[in-house]
Structure 1
Amino acid sequence: MPPRLAFALVCLVAMLGGVVAVVKQGQLPPADFTFNNDTEIESLDPAVVTGQPEGRIIDELYEGLVKLGPKDRKPMPGVAERWEVSDDGLTYTFHLRRDAKWSDGSPVTARDFVYSMRRFLDPLTLAEYAYQAWYLKNAKRYSRAARGVEIGDRVEVELLEPSADALPFARGEVLRGELVGVETDPGVAAEMLDDPAKFIDYRTFVVSIDGEEQRFRIGDRVPARAPTGAKPCRQLTLDFAEVGFRAIDDYTVETVLESPTPYWLNLLGFYPLAPVNQRCIETHGPAKWTEAENLVTNGPFRLEFRRLRDRIRLRKNPHYWNRDGVALETIDALAVQSLTTSFNLYETGKVDWITKVTPLIARELFEAEPPRDDFNPDAQFGTYFYAFNVTRKPFDDPRVRQALVLALDREEIVTTACAGELPARSFTPPGLPNYDAPECPDTNVERAKELLAEAGYPDGTGFPKIEILYNYEQQHQTIAELIRKQWRRNLGIDVSTRNEEWGSFLSSQRQQKYDVMRRAWIGDYLDPNTFLDLFVTDGENNATGWGDPEYDRLIREAKAEADPEVRIEMLAEAERILMREVPIMPIYYYVSRSMVKPYVYGWYNNLEDRHPLWALSIDRTATGPNDFMSSEPVREIKLNRREPEGAEQ
């Protein structure tokens, strides 16, 4: 079948799916701007999510001390109207605007930011991005709870029940004092005491509170072996007053860093560090506070409603300090997973922006004559990769991982399943100044067979059946099937594939319920560290189980290194280790494939592929190019194609 005819049939088949999706809208008045957010979001709590679909919504509902511009992604005033940085680069002082308010009309204060940062770092919050705030003085020690404190430290002891005058879902009552002793249960084996997962099970913490020594056991009960008089508590942490994040007064926030961090302002504009409303959370509790009728936010938009398997509607926040600078009154974010249906909705005028198109459609758009003004692919600071669960055999053997990487044919993947993407042999994408990312070896099937034989699996004999896990999307399925066939063809091993919906997929990742998993990472800021610090031992986003002491040391010391050239080389050396040990397998570098209607203004290509909706405006009468159409690409994108043997070049 000719390619263009196939393309037309795909669009025709998608029509029914698109109509069904739109019928759900019923009599709902159309929003000023509608886009497809690709899937159902996991949560609207900025502290606990990590995905792009969630980030697109949260960026509009909340605003941090700074926000990031739509074009160059540089920090600009948010709730903080100005700030100063000390000469040593460690202390940032933020001055909050007096007219910043929550969507219920109450003022946003410095204490809201302190509450939110404490909650973000609280080990009980289970924030996977908590490490992004560990640049703050003592923040990592606070996040490590009892494992982060030492004798002589000021500590917080959170009791099991809130104080009598607290809101129903507040923290337990908090006592503060000095840690003066740690008593270990007698007769416990040394290996049990050294097990991080059981650190608190055999220890009693002695805290001096107002001159009186009190003993505490962490947990909801006091075990029989505990000393007489030991009290149960929910947790014991470093006193948050020791963390480099404090309110000087109602409208001044001070942050103190462990070492100079050139991208600290960018991180403060990253959605997990956004403020949340304490009264909202403590009144409605973890299951209810993000519901539309309860949610209190401080961003340019508020949540009007959320319909599962349909859409989220945002409406301009009338209490937002810069509401007059926000052009859109309403935004709809659809949750259509099928990219073909998404494209059909775009082509029939039901949506104004789609985040990506299928490779088949992208190829047609690349070749369209005349070129489409609303399709402008560009380089993106992201990598598509597979992760190996090294806690499971045979992936605990680096020779097996190396063999699987060497048996991968990236050219076949980008030719068959992609359109414009570039084969990846490093984890950090190209495009950063002064950083040449070290690479893993290219395809070498013979060497892959040798390594597999060295690991005890000659020609795949005895190799256990393994499974590739991916979240459902047609392209992910195509890639998984290609890799399954490549590994079977090249190594003689048996591989199956399985897909899960987004929420279940994320849960499987966190719990390491997989053999090999499809993953991707889009940089949170333009620096190699945003990729490389993912894989420190026991890192919150390191779901591979892999760790390496030298890698950890390099990442840790690079964060404290003042000389930029030395720092970059340390990061490069860390990536050499990562590409030698290959707990992950780079596959391709992302290319953005958005489509945006010509009447949308304020939408720009950028390496992070993040597009704040508060910056958008609509002019359906305009005849000139919009910002998207006139923006300069970061680098030339070429369609990857494999020519048949003997074809004319």
Structure 2
Amino acid sequence: MGPRYASLMTTSPRIPWWMACAMAGAGGLMLAVWLAPRQDLPVIPRPAADRDVLRIAYAQMVVVDPHRWYFPTPAQNQLILGLWEPLIECDPESGQPMPAAAESWHWSEDRLTLTVKLRATGRWSNGDPVTAGDFVRSWRRLVGHDMAGAIVLYPVQGAEAVNRGTAAPDTLGVEAVDALTLRIRLAAVRSTFVAELADPMLVPLHVTTPAVLAEDRSWREPAALVTNGAFRLIRASKDGFRLGVSRHYRNHPAVRLAGVEFIRADTASMARLLVAVGRADLTHLSPGVPPEGWPTGRAVTEATELSLLISSLDLNVTRGPLRDVRVRRALALAVDRSEPITGEDAGRFVPAYSWVPDMPGRAGMALFREDAAEARRLLAEAGYPGGRDFPVLILPVNPRRDNYPFLQAWTDRWFRELGVRTYLAYEPSDKRTSRVRSGNFDVAFNGVIATVPDAGDLLGIFAHPERFNAPHWMNPVNTQLMAEANRKAGAERLELLEAFERHVMAEVPTIPMLFERRRTLLAGEVEGWYADPLGRQALKRLALAPLVPPTLGGEEGL
């Protein structure tokens, strides 16, 4: 099941005086660029040392600990997946799992035990062989600490108990059979589990790494952070990270970059400016950042991809009129998803008419529509013509979120078309969470993000009513369909998942409202970029085109 949103913060040590001076100079240059006339600015020539180095500007926090989970930004994913290699990668075209650190895998007959064979060629950046024990060590660390991301291992036998402190880490259902064989025992059949092994949090850890991460030694001793990915850590500071190619990486000759630099920017606008003036080659646009208005003539393109994130209006099916499926359908039909998507939001949000968006290997379905006349008919049939005698719906709102215009537009539509009134209850986050968990609400605005490019992941939330925000909603038909889908593969499995989604959406325990697009700015010389719905583009697949000397006066630069 996709996780809910969370966040963490980190700190970093002081930096040497000479680096501070260098950064001050760079900051002065950027300030001059910012204050200069916003057109025809020169492009900063690429330094010789960065000839084949991809430079990524980022504004949100990035850390080198793969287990310090927070909202999984593309820059965070790419840093971890550049330094480490998990067992599995997901094919960008089909979403299907492909071998990475693993060479092969097979299921037991009951599909509760997965045996993974590692590549004999896997090597750490110090030359040590990568072993099954390195994965066991990493996963025990993840579930044995108070880490929010441990939920990704909950399908593994004993993981939840270990994470909650009621069992010892060595009871986790994972073992190293030998140096190259990893055995994983699941608590229940789960067809998406192999693809879930591509998660950045499930990378292995070298025997020395837990201590290095605990002591924050990578800031002052980058080489002490031993990793098994295509790149190794060369430099780390509060201003970013520098990676070089690992000569011990199992597929080292295929890596086309000489390195990667992650450049910390104070704001998303500054990150965008770094790309415009040639200091960076790539940045992921944050919400609200306009797509155009370049102050230079640098060739830059914008790539977009539909992320696997769904925002929804969850309905409490245990309260009042919402117990009637006709009422729930009326609310879903009456709402106008497109109305509040204006201005800068138009490039970010997409109306959602199903629970699962388009994804590799599976197109989304249109299971909802907007039909106010049918909504009024259903509401009248349920005994509330024109909204007469319909109680006020309570919708708790987190005042720290910027979703008020959407909620106001949608609930106003309910009033205009159905005569249904809604009370937007502004409450602190903890109080709102408590209200939703206790069931003292009618409608709740929530978001779910997938952890794998598989429809079963997003749909799996309905198989766990204890974790779904519309309390106590469940249906035995859904339980049976998901159980069958978990034991199938290929087209037969997709058919079962489609039937599952159709059945759930017909019951309307939640109303899908918005999908979200991810936007990336790329310099013209970046080659090999591809769409990934989880923002996990593998840097080892990218390259930089041969450089063209920059020109001034608004003509095309790099």
Task: Give the TM-score band, short-chain normalised.
Answer: 0.5 to 0.7
1:575-614 equivalences in 2 (<5 Å) = 575-606=501-532, 608-614=534-540
2:479 alignment partner AA: D
TM-score norm. by structure 1 comes to 0.59
Change (3 A) 1:50 1:561: farther
Gaps of 5+ in 2: 1-30, 39-46, 550-558
Residue of structure 1 in register with 2:308 after alignment: 382
Could you say which structure has the larger radius of gyration? Answer: 1
Q: CA deviation at 1:431?
A: 5.6
Q: 1:71, 1:292 → 2: CA distance?
A: 40
Secondary structure at 1:298's aligned position in 2? Answer: coil
Change (3 A) 1:420 1:279: closer
Determine if the alignment matches structure 1 residue 281 to structure 2 residue 302.
Answer: no
Residue of structure 2 in register with 1:444 after alignment: 372
Secondary structure at 2:496's aligned position in 1? Answer: helix
2:328, 2:508 within 8 Å by CA — same for their partners in 1?
A: yes
Q: 1:457, 1:123 → 2: CA distance?
A: 54
Change (3 A) 1:523 1:258: closer
Change (3 A) 1:581 1:342: farther
Determine if the alignment matches structure 1 residue 83 to structure 2 residue 83.
Answer: no
Residue of structure 2 in register with 1:556 after alignment: 483
Q: 1:571, 1:122 → 2: CA distance?
A: 33
Secondary structure at 1:516's aligned position in 2? Answer: strand
Residue of structure 2 in register with 1:225 after alignment: none
Residue of structure 1 in register with 2:120 after alignment: 97
CA displacement, residues 486-533 of structure 1 (integer Å, 9 cap, x when unaligned): 456553334367898xxx9999999899963352535612x3212211
- Which of the residues 332, 343, 354 maps onto 1:405? 332
Residue of structure 2 in register with 1:34 after alignment: 55
Secondary structure at 2:79's aligned position in 1? Answer: helix
Change (3 A) 1:378 1:409: same
2:284, 2:521 within 8 Å by CA — same for their partners in 1?
A: yes
Q: 1:509, 1:329 → 2: CA distance?
A: 49
- Which of the residues 115, 122, 129 maps onto 2:137? 115
Determine if the alignment matches structure 1 residue 332 to structure 2 residue 353.
Answer: no
Q: 2:218, 2:414 → 1: CA distance?
A: 44
2:166 alignment partner AA: Q
Residue of structure 2 in register with 1:570 after alignment: 496
Secondary structure at 1:411's aligned position in 2? Answer: coil
2:57, 2:280 within 8 Å by CA — same for their partners in 1?
A: yes
Q: CA deviation at 1:427?
A: 0.8
Residue of structure 2 in register with 1:305 after alignment: 236
Q: 1:58, 1:395 → 2: CA distance?
A: 48
Change (3 A) 1:84 1:105: closer
1:385, 1:520 within 8 Å by CA — same for their partners in 2?
A: yes
1:343, 1:357 within 8 Å by CA — same for their partners in 2?
A: no
Q: 1:313, 1:606 → 2: CA distance?
A: 23
1:359, 1:418 within 8 Å by CA — same for their partners in 2?
A: no
Change (3 A) 1:283 1:33: closer
Determine if the alignment matches structure 1 residue 521 to structure 2 residue 443.
Answer: no
2:314, 2:446 within 8 Å by CA — same for their partners in 1?
A: no
Change (3 A) 1:39 1:292: farther
1:618 alignment partner AA: L
Residue of structure 2 in register with 1:51 after alignment: 72
Change (3 A) 1:432 1:499: farther
Q: 2:105, 2:213 → 1: CA distance?
A: 37
1:410, 1:587 within 8 Å by CA — same for their partners in 2?
A: yes
CA displacement, residues 319-376 of structure 1 (integer Å, 9 cap, x when unaligned): 75255636243421546564x55444433334322324768945x79xx9xxx97435
TM-score norm. by structure 2 comes to 0.68
Change (3 A) 1:600 1:459: farther
Q: CA deviation at 1:409?
A: 0.7
1:554, 1:570 within 8 Å by CA — same for their partners in 2?
A: yes
Secondary structure at 1:621's aligned position in 2? Answer: coil
Q: CA deviation at 1:601?
A: 1.8
2:236 alignment partner AA: F
Change (3 A) 1:454 1:57: farther
Q: 1:552, 1:273 → 2: CA distance?
A: 28
Q: CA deviation at 1:246?
A: 3.0
Greater RCO (CA < 8 Å, at least 6 residues apart)? 2
1:426, 1:437 within 8 Å by CA — same for their partners in 2?
A: yes
Aligned length, in residue pairs = 489
Change (3 A) 1:508 1:528: same
1:44 alignment partner AA: D
Q: 1:30, 1:72 → 2: CA distance?
A: 37
Secondary structure at 1:60's aligned position in 2? Answer: helix
Determine if the alignment matches structure 1 residue 64 to structure 2 residue 102.
Answer: no
Residue of structure 2 in register with 1:532 after alignment: 459
- Which of the residues 171, 181, 184 maps onto 1:252? 181
Residue of structure 2 in register with 1:143 after alignment: 159
2:496 alignment partner AA: M
Determine if the alignment matches structure 1 residue 355 to structure 2 residue 376.
Answer: no
Residue of structure 2 in register with 1:228 after alignment: none
2:393, 2:421 within 8 Å by CA — same for their partners in 1?
A: no
Measured on the aligned residues, the alpha-carbon RMSD in Å equals 5.2
Q: 2:62, 2:322 → 1: CA distance?
A: 33
Q: 2:461, 2:195 → 1: CA distance?
A: 17
Q: 2:329, 2:242 → 1: CA distance?
A: 47
Q: 1:295, 1:506 → 2: CA distance?
A: 41
Q: CA deviation at 1:269?
A: 2.2
Secondary structure at 1:578's aligned position in 2? Answer: helix
Q: 2:278, 2:431 → 1: CA distance?
A: 32
Residue of structure 2 in register with 1:423 after alignment: 351
1:222-233 equivalences in 2 (<5 Å) = none
Gaps of 5+ in 1: 1-11, 20-27, 146-157, 159-170, 172-218, 220-233, 624-649
Q: 1:472, 1:43 → 2: CA distance?
A: 28
1:128-527 equivalences in 2 (<5 Å) = 129-130=151-152, 134=155, 139-140=156-157, 142-145=158-161, 235-236=166-167, 240=171, 243=173, 245-255=174-184, 265-277=194-206, 279-281=208-210, 285=214, 296-299=226-229, 300-302=231-233, 304-307=235-238, 311-316=239-244, 318=246, 320-321=248-249, 322=251, 325=255, 327-334=257-264, 338=268, 340-356=269-285, 361-362=290-291, 374-375=300-301, 377=303, 380=306, 382-388=308-314, 390=316, 397=323, 402=329, 404-414=331-341, 417-419=345-347, 422-430=350-358, 437=365, 439-444=367-372, 447=375, 451=379, 458=387, 463=392, 466-469=395-398, 479-480=406-407, 482-483=409-410, 485-487=412-414, 489-490=416-417, 491-495=420-424, 516-522=444-450, 524-525=452-453, 527=454
Change (3 A) 1:290 1:408: farther
Secondary structure at 2:486's aligned position in 1? Answer: helix
- Identify the range of structure 1 (36-45 vs 52-61) with the bigger mean alpha-carbon deviation: 36-45
2:66, 2:200 within 8 Å by CA — same for their partners in 1?
A: no
Q: CA deviation at 1:260?
A: 8.8
